[in-house]
């Protein structure tokens, strides 16, 4: 159980951070998608009840992304912690269903897009290109929804007991 609750989320977040700092030569909107992806993946794990102690991992990952991207130190760490704060504050009754988790992710995507563009505008002292920020943030949110659906399908096929953040256990599979 410790593997599913701690090790898998930490490994997935770590791989997303490595993807975020890799020089991929992506267009503007996709260049924003890569750094924000770890935050949304952490939100998926938190909403599924498997996000035990992800805040320190995300904070460290955000600092790594900040150092690798030559941006302001703490920018991505703050964005990551902001996204997980919203995920932790969502009611358990909302995140128990697939539609509820998708609605929660949409809420988090909107909040992160506004915070990201606002902080970047303050840092640069001019308005940033909102189209690329929104495109990249929504792209990363779409990836997070796909990961959530894939996790659900994999757990349903394995027949394991799934516990949500609210604590209710349901038997999946046949």
d(CA 37, CA 41): 6
Return d(Cα 111, Cα 103) in angstroms, integer.
12
> Could you tell me which of 12, 62, 30, 56 has the C-alpha nearest to residue 132?
30
Q: What is the pLDDT of residue 74?
A: 92
Q: Which residue has the higher pLDDT, 105 or 132?
A: 105
| pLDDT mean over 72-95 | 90
Digit-coded pLDDT (tens) for 7-44:
888 898 999 999 988 887 877 767 788 888 899 888 88
User: What is the pLDDT of the chain when averaged over all its residues?
Assistant: 81
Q: Which of 17-21, 34-38, 126-130, 170-174 has the lowest mean pLDDT?
A: 170-174
Measure the CA–CA gap between 162 and 169, rounded to whole angstroms: 6
29 vs 173, residue with greater confidence: 29
What's the token pair of residue 94?
A: 């909302």
Return the domain boundaries, the chain: 2-166
Cβ count near 41 (within 10 Å):
25
Collapsing DSSP states into helix, strand and coil, what is residue 162? strand
Coil, helix or strand for 174?
coil
Q: How confident is the model at residue 63 (pLDDT cuts 50, 70, 90)?
A: very high
More confident residue, 162 or 46: 46
Residue ranges of alpha helices (H) inside 48-129 are 54-69, 75-89, 92-95, 98-124
Contact 170, 155 (CB under 8 A): no
How many residues are recorded in the chain?
174
The answer to whether 28 and 132 have CB atoms below 8 angstroms apart is: yes
Q: Look at strands 169-171 and 161-163 and give their pairing.
A: antiparallel
What are the residues facing 169 on neighbouring strands? 163
Domain covering 2-166: architecture: Orthogonal Bundle (1.10)
The total of other beta-carbon atoms located within 10 Å of residue 30's CB is: 15
Q: Which two tokens stand for residue 76?
A: 């991505």
Confidence tier at 102 by pLDDT (50, 70, 90): confident
């Amino acid at each position: 159980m410790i593997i599913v609750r701690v090790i898998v989320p930490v490994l997935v977040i770590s791989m997303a951070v490595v993807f975020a700092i890799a020089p991929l030569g992506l267009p503007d909107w996709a260049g924003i998608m890569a750094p924000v992806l770890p935050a949304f993946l952490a939100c998926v794990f938190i909403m599924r009840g498997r996000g035990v102690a992800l805040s320190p991992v995300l904070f460290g990952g955000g600092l790594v992304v900040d150092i690798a991207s030559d941006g302001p130190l703490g920018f991505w760490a703050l964005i990551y912690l902001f996204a997980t704060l919203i995920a932790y504050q969502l009611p358990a009754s909302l995140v128990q269903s697939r539609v509820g988790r998708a609605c929660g992710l949409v809420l988090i995507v909107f909040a992160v897009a506004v915070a990201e563009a606002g902080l970047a505008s303050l840092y640069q002292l001019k308005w940033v290109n909102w189209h690329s920020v929104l495109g990249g943030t929504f792209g990363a949110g779409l990836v997070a929804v796909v990961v959530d659906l894939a996790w659900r399908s994999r757990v349903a096929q394995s027949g394991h007991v799934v516990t949500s953040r609210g604590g209710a256990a349901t038997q999946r599979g046949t």
